Structure 1
Amino acid sequence: MKQALLLFFYCAITAIAQAQKYDFVVAQDGSGQFKTVQEALNAVPDFRKVTTTIFIKNGVYKEKLNLSHSKQFVKLIGEDVARTILTFDDWAQRKNAFGEEKGTSGSSSFYIYGPNFTAENITFQNSAGPVGQAVALFVAGDKAKFTNCRMLGFQDTLYTYGYGSRQYYYKCYIEGTVDFIFGASTAVFDDCEIFCKKAGYITASSSPDTVKYGYVFMNCRIVGDAPENSYFLGRPWRPYAKAVFLNCNLGKMIKAEGWDNWGKESNQQTAYYAEYKSTGPGANPTGRVKWSHQLDEKQVQEYTLAKILNGWNPRE
């Protein structure tokens, strides 16, 4: 009897302590404050100046989600990255209520406009399949950080939308086919796994000419089931596209030439594509297009988090 009471009190105390770690809990079985993720996002006070932490229990949450600009300092924590799945199935050619195509931007499963957003242990998915542009995650807010998350889709999986937006992806898994990491933001991919499906282009940066950095991949692994010699590291969606791969291991799917000019020779004068100490079967510094760059020891010193992200330290 005494042992049973002790166990009861231990479980009760543990439950209370667990609840106090989070401001809101989302659970499909009703054990949290909310059954849907959007309800929890809506409940965050506008322009709150401290972090609102939302714990999402395992489940497949089929919702088209939107975190508005007024919802800042929101932190989502999934119970298990493989089993906490936020998903929807829109795609660019799908019609809206007025019979109009939704377009690439309208296809996203989750829109993040609020600044200082954080996500851990969550899968972001577009489940429409190989039907053209179908965005899983649309990130516009500044200082967005993702740790141990998965972004699943085909074409246009991850849209780093915001001009001037700084984004950091740590130990994430991102998969897709054509231009599956694309947009205008400055984004660092640190120790991530980039999975190439079928054939295509990993990046399609649209960096403006007013920023020094676009996409920076640090210590990443480019893997996948794509055929040998079927992938470019990137092509310029806009003339001043920027993408740099530092100390990355490149799989056999990476083409020897590495980069594509998207059919415009003028892009070769404005886009900035570079590598530093690439390894693996896809590493081929002598075979790269002549308008790309191989960084030296001095040049690579410019690629610190503080410099790339303009003073923001996402590791704090």
Structure 2
Amino acid sequence: MLITVSQKSTEGFASLQAALDSIPPEHTSEVTIRIKPGIYEEKITVGPEAPPILLLGEDPQSTVLTWSDNAHTLGADGEPLGTFRSGTLNVFAEHFTAENLTICNASGPGTGQAVAAFIDAGQAVFRRVRLLGDQDTLYTGQGKQYYDNCYIEGDVDYIFGAATALFDRCHLHNKRSRGYITAASTPEGAAFGYVFLDCRITGGEGVSEVYLGRPWRPHAHVAFIRTNMDGSVIGEGWHNWGQPEREATSRYEEFGSSGPGAHPEARVAWSRQLNPQEASEYRVLTVLDGWHPEGY
């Protein structure tokens, strides 16, 4: 099933949410929604009953989904939305893919938690997607998630949540000094939390002292494998969130880091530098427990 979303009145739906709502409840096979170039200002939800969905943009620069809710925005009930209702794109479907587009929370710096993509899916894939925001840009709620050649920016905890998520050749951009890239809440007993393979980290002009992560929950797991890090990354690398007891339960790992922000000798003592054999276990199929995302 193919649906088109376009800002031209002669081509399909003008709203992505309207396109999603048009899918018959009994439809179970994959739906491709082709999104033509344009800036689409709307809050979008892909519900748990949705069939496998592919959102297919033309390219990230020309195809933009944007909204500007934040944790303090008042909802229809008159109460603040909070972090988990602030998302621009909210995905609860079992199978979901997005390619060649931008997802933005335009709330702006200093407005608090403001999620661009809230992903609480079973299996989710993002290819060549830009995720733009400040605090809490990307929420990885549950399941298995794969990010391929994506650009993700923010300042505080801008990748956070409990999912097993693999970031393959992604670009992470720090927008503010003394921030945090990850805030993992990996469940106890999970083999993997966040794994970054062959990624790069940059910072805005003058940005410094950014931590690779801090543990939102006690068993946070984050591994950076062969990541190039610029000088915005602080030497210690990792922060304990003011809870020293989490140093014993968090798993923070690196292998083959390079660039001005790679300082293995300066990293906190409770993090680990993996050896080559350990690092070789960090492969897509292993991390995602046998799921190969190329099928979606």
Same fold (TM over 0.5): yes
The equivalent position to 1:181 in structure 2, one of 147, 150, 159, is 159
Write the mapping of 1:28-43 to structure 2, written as runs, cut at 5 A.
28-43=7-22
Identical residues among aligned pairs (%): 44
Kept in 1, the 8 Å contact 2:185–2:215? The answer is yes
What CA distance in whole angstroms lies between the structure 2 residues aligned with 1:295 and 1:138?
A: 31
Q: How does 1:216-295 map to 2 (within 5 A)?
A: 216-225=195-204, 227=206, 229-295=208-274
CA distance in 1, matches of 2:127, 2:27: 23
Give the alignment partner of residue 138 of structure 1, picking from 118, 122, 129: 118
User: Which residue in 2 is equivalent to 1:191?
Assistant: 169
Change (3 A) 1:228 1:101: closer
Q: Distance in 2 between matches of 1:105 and 1:226?
A: 31
Write the letter of the residue equivalent to 2:125. K
TM-score for both structures, normalised by structure 1 = 0.90
31-40 or 262-271: which moved more? Answer: 31-40
Q: State how many pairs are aligned.
A: 293
Alpha-carbon contact 1:152-1:176 (below 8 Å) kept: yes
Answer with 182-191 or 228-237: which moved more.
228-237
User: What is the root-mean-square deviation in Å for CA atoms of aligned residues?
Assistant: 1.2
Unpaired runs of 5+ in structure 1? 1-21
Matched letter for residue 203 of structure 2: G
Taking structure 2 as the reference length, the TM-score comes to: 0.96
Do structure 1's residue 297 and structure 2's residue 276 form an aligned pair? Answer: yes
Alignment check: 8 A CA contact 1:62 1:88 kept: yes
Aligned mates of 1:153, 1:49 — CA distance in 2: 33
Shift of 1:47: 6.3
Partner-residue secondary structure (3-state), 1:315 = helix
- Structure 1 292/226 Cα, relative in aligned 2: closer, same or farther at 3 Å? farther
CA distance in 2, matches of 1:95, 1:228: 32
Report the equivalent of 2:95.
116
Asked if the contact 2:209/2:234 (under 8 Å) is kept, the reply is yes
- The CA distance in 2 between the partners of 1:31 and 1:123, in whole Å, is 24
Q: How is 1:14-53 mapped onto 2 (pairs within 5 angstroms)?
A: 23-46=2-25, 48-53=27-32
Q: Using the TM superposition, name which of 65-74 and 224-233 deviates more.
A: 224-233
Give 2:279's aligned amino acid. V
Cα drift, residue 308 of structure 1: 0.7
Q: 1:167 aligns with which of 145, 152, 176?
A: 145
Bigger proportion of residues as helix: 1
1:302 match: secondary structure = coil
Give per-residue Cα distances to partners, 1:283-307, cap 9 Å, x unaligned.
0001000000000011112211111
Give 2:136's match in structure 1, choosing from 156, 159, 167.
156
Q: Distance in 2 between matches of 1:226 and 1:272?
A: 30
- What amino acid is the match of 1:185? A
Poorly superposed stretches of 4+, deviation over 6 Å = none
Query: Which of 88, 102, 108 is the equivalent residue of 2:81?
Result: 102
C-alpha offsets along residues 235-283 of structure 1, whole Å, 9 cap, x if unaligned? Answer: 0000001100000000101010000000001100111000000000000
Amino acid at match of 1:220: C
- Alignment partner of 2:18: what SS? helix
Ranges in structure 2 where 5+ consecutive residues have no aligned partner: none
Give the CA deviation at 1:233.
0.2
AA in 1 matched with 2:163: S
Q: How far, CA to CA, are the matches of 1:192 and 1:158 in structure 2?
A: 14
- 1:204 corresponds in structure 2 to 183
Determine the structure 1 residue equivalent to 2:105: 126
Q: Which structure would you say has the larger Rg? A: 1
Question: How far off its partner does 1:80 sit?
Answer: 2.2
Distance 1:65 1:187 in 2: 22
Query: 8 Å contact 1:221–1:249 — kept in the other structure?
Result: yes
